[in-house]
Amino acid sequence: MVVHASGPIVLIGAGNMGGAMLAGWLKSGISGADLLVIDPGPPAAMAKLIADSGARHETAAPAGLKAGVLFLAVKPQMMPAVLPPLKGLVGPETVVVSVAAGTTLSFMQSHLGDAAMVRAMPNTPAMIGRGVTGAFANGEVSSAQRDLVHNLLKVSGPVEWVETEADIDAVTAVSGSGPAYVFYLVECMAEAGRKAGLPADLAMRLARETVAGAGELLHQSPDDASRLRQNVTSPGGTTAAALNILMADDGMQPLFDKAIAAARKRAEELAG
Ligand SMILES: NC(=O)c1ccc[n+]([C@@H]2O[C@H](COP(=O)([O-])OP(=O)(O)OC[C@H]3O[C@@H](n4cnc5c(N)ncnc54)[C@H](OP(=O)(O)O)[C@@H]3O)[C@@H](O)[C@H]2O)c1
């Protein structure tokens, strides 16, 4: 990938998410020479990746440098301490990107000043390059900066831009927290299988591989989820019997409506 930025890509925090992004950037062809990683103590594997890539590593923000992209990947609770010393890295050409849940643009502006800023919400499958990211850009972000940020985010999977910052709370509720709902679905299917008479470990293996395989089929197929469901549902068959329960008025849809609304409300509360 060719990076057209007016300064280095500065990554703040090379933990789980920052490390996954860094690995993706290097894999996509970004040169280590274009990267500066600031982390007081990256995990050993990440320290090796940084050293092998030739990226510059610092434990604190160096003076006299303006970032092309300032990419924030620290825990939200670290933000009040992390942001103030970074202000010097932000110049007129800098775009700031944050993946921190619940950290608003106005909070970032209060520490970094009025700048081009993107708030992004990736999800855990980003660790294997199979995430999906929702992103919101403020009015200062130029189309060139937006393209650049899009290219940086897409190394972990598709990027979907939303129209308002508030939409990020809904993105968080659907895809940010979503992997946990799917993992819980596996747990529920396994437990129901155990109650249906299967050994618990066998039921878990069946449930796990079913969800993983169905996810992969969905990923590879041009058909949407509804079509794939209909394809495996014969009228009067076993799948139809189960779906009659799951799709009833008191089935999964009202449960998901409540769950997503609760997650969204919590995201709003965390954003303050
Ligand atoms: N993981 C996910 O699936 C996911 C999904 C969506 C969004 N996010 C967001 O991504 C962000 C990072 O999450 P994570 O799971 O990657 O956290 P993490 O693994 O704890 O990574 C944060 C990294 O930042 C380092 N750090 C601490 N203080 C710093 C400072 N002053 N300057 C620079 N680096 C510093 C940490 O070092 P120490 O360990 O030494 O403190 C750690 O290496 C969070 O805001 C989270 O909301 C994560």
**18-50 residues labelled b (16+ CB within 10 A) or e (exposed):** bbbbbbbbbeeebebebbbbbbeebeeebeebb
39 and 13 in one domain?
Answer: yes
Q: Per the domain annotation, does 110 fall within a domain?
A: yes
- Residue 240 pLDDT: 98
- Is the minimum distance from the CB of 109 to ligand 1 under 6 angstroms? no
| 196 and 121 within one domain | no
Q: What dihedral do alpha carbons 28, 30, 31, 36 form, nearest 10°?
A: -120
Q: Which domain holds residue 147?
A: 9-163
What separation in Å is there between the alpha carbon of 270 and the centre of ligand 1?
Answer: 17
Looking at the fold, whether 54 and 146 belong to one and the same domain comes out as: yes
CA of 181 to the centre of ligand 1 (A): 22
Residue 57 sits in the same domain as residue 135: yes
Co-location of 27 and 92 in the same domain = yes
User: Is 259 near ligand 1, meaning CB less than 6 Å away?
Assistant: no
pLDDT value of residue 271: 79
Residue at 168 is within a domain: no
Kindly state the greatest CA–CA separation across the chain: 71
Residue 80 in any domain: the answer is yes
Question: In this predicted structure, what is the pLDDT of residue 4?
Answer: 62
Q: Kindly state if the Cβ of 18 falls inside 6 Å of ligand 1.
A: yes
Residues 80 and 102: beta-carbon distance below 8 Å: no
pLDDT in tens, 132-152: 999 999 999 999 999 999 999
Q: Is 101 in the pocket of ligand 1 (CB under 6 A)?
A: yes
Q: Is 38 in the pocket of ligand 1 (CB under 6 A)?
A: yes
User: 171 in a domain, yes or no?
Assistant: no
Q: Which whole number is the average pLDDT over 151-169?
A: 97
What is the rounded distance in angstroms from the CA atom of residue 19 to the CA atom of residue 155?
Answer: 12
Least confident of 110-114, 218-222, 268-272: 268-272
Pocket residue to mutate for ligand 1, from 10, 12, 16, most atoms within 8 A of Cβ: 16
* Shared-domain flag, residues 133 and 73: yes
pLDDT tens, position by position, 200-222: 999 999 999 999 999 999 999 99
Give the span between the Cα atoms of 137 and 135, in whole angstroms. Answer: 7
Residue 5's pLDDT is: 67
Q: Is residue 128 part of a domain?
A: yes
**How far does residue 197's CA lie from ligand 1's centre (Å)?**
43
pTM of this prediction? 0.93
